[in-house]
């Protein structure tokens, strides 16, 4: 067994043509295992700035200046200025120009995360998006890369962002969210998360989450959208599982009937119970419903705080199993309580 030094790990994360050259020759499977170990070691040793909460994520077409201007009065965790699906083909250039201008002039005091979604790598439009948008004096907090099907898409994105920034000094890394919108993307998701985290150590962005693009996914597998979204249950569960395995946020599907707030609330709560950290929205009226659904109630916060206090007192006394409010408590419930308090602190 060879010794992995810090210097080797840092070198392996650099943007060289092949990280394999820096490590002893192994099979592809063994190398993947070594790389996963490198990611864990570097993540443990790196400075963690913490993730921005993204309970509600609203899309605004970059081609519509009137709608972009309304972001100044919007109260939402994440606002996405869109170059992709929300923009007609003949308005793509106008959208990227508008977004670049708005980044420098728009005041958004109640938006925590001002985000830009570029076009997909396969569209051939993403490079122009990146070049134009990253000319702005104020860079977006986060960038979204849609329709990610292969690790090559993430590698291409990293290269183009570095070229566009051209050595520009950043006070902090931009954040990256990737979208899973096809069967292939879902199958490759573990590798996509690994690649994003691997590159986060030596590129201008840090991968923070995975977004589920449900409509494109349905089209790709030939499914029909239903109100209860049962046709998407497997995909939703896999996205949550893989994202959480890599310490990433998971953003749930859009509820396209924006007038049915009751159904929206039901679906949002379902997503929160499944483990999603937020949900995409397409209309301002959806924001309060969604953000409330992904915010622990005061009653739940008090339950979590009291449970953890009782657990610590119980263990300090050297006792074994414990009962709390009529229920037996074990470590998984304690971890759930800690998650609730963590969510409450972030919101």
pLDDT, block means (10 residues), the chain with 347 residues: 45 46 51 55 45 92 97 97 96 98 96 97 98 96 98 97 93 94 98 96 93 97 94 98 95 95 97 96 97 88 83 73 75 78 77
- In this prediction, residue 65 carries a pLDDT of 97
Q: Of the listed 45, 227, 228, 330, which one is catalytic?
A: 330
- In this prediction, residue 57 carries a pLDDT of 98
Please name the residues in contact with 291: beta carbons below 8 A apart, sequence gap of 6 or more. Answer: 55, 56, 76, 77, 347
Structure tokens belonging to residue 347: 């919101």
Within the chain, how many helices (H) and strands (E) appear?
A: 14, 10
- In this prediction, residue 1 carries a pLDDT of 37
| C-alpha span between 221 and 308 (Å, rounded) | 44
- In this prediction, residue 321 carries a pLDDT of 66
- In this prediction, residue 24 carries a pLDDT of 54
- In this prediction, residue 34 carries a pLDDT of 52
Q: Determine whether 93 is an active site residue.
A: no
């Amino acid at each position: 067994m060879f010794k992995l030094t810090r210097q080797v790990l840092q070198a392996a994360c650099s943007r060289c043509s092949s990280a394999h050259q820096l490590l002893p020759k192994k099979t592809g499977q063994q190398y993947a295992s070594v790389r996963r170990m490198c990611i864990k070691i570097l993540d443990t040793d790196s400075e963690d700035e913490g993730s921005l909460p993204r309970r509600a994520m609203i899309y605004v077409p970059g081609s519509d200046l009137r709608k972009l201007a309304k972001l100044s009065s919007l109260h939402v965790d994440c606002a996405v200025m869109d170059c992709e699906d929300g923009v007609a083909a003949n308005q793509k250039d106008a959208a990227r120009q508008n977004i670049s201008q708005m980044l420098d002039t728009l005041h958004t005091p109640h938006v925590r995360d001002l985000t830009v979604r570029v076009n997909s790598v396969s569209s051939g439009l993403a490079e122009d998006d990146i070049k134009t948008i990253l000319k702005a004096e104020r860079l977006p907090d986060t960038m979204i890369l849609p329709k990610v099907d292969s690790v090559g898409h993430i590698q291409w994105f990293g290269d183009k962002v570095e070229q566009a920034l051209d050595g520009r000094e950043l006070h902090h890394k931009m954040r990256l969210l990737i979208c899973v919108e096809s069967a292939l993307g879902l199958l490759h998701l573990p590798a996509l998360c690994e690649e994003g985290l691997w590159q986060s150590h030596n590129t201008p962005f840090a991968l923070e989450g995975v977004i589920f693009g449900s409509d494109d996914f349905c089209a790709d597998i030939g499914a029909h959208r239903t109100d209860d979204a049962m046709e998407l249950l497997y995909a939703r569960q896999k996205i949550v599982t893989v994202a959480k395995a890599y310490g990433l946020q998971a953003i749930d599907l859009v509820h396209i009937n924006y007038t049915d707030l009751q159904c929206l609330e039901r679906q949002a709560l379902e997503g929160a119970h499944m483990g999603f950290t937020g949900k995409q929205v397409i209309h301002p009226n959806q924001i309060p419903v969604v953000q409330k659904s992904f915010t622990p109630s005061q009653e739940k916060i008090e339950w979590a705080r009291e449970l953890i206090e009782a657990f610590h007192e119980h263990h300090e006394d050297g006792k074994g199993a414990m009962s709390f409010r009529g229920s037996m408590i074990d470590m998984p419930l304690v971890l759930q309580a800690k998650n609730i308090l963590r969510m409450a602190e972030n919101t």
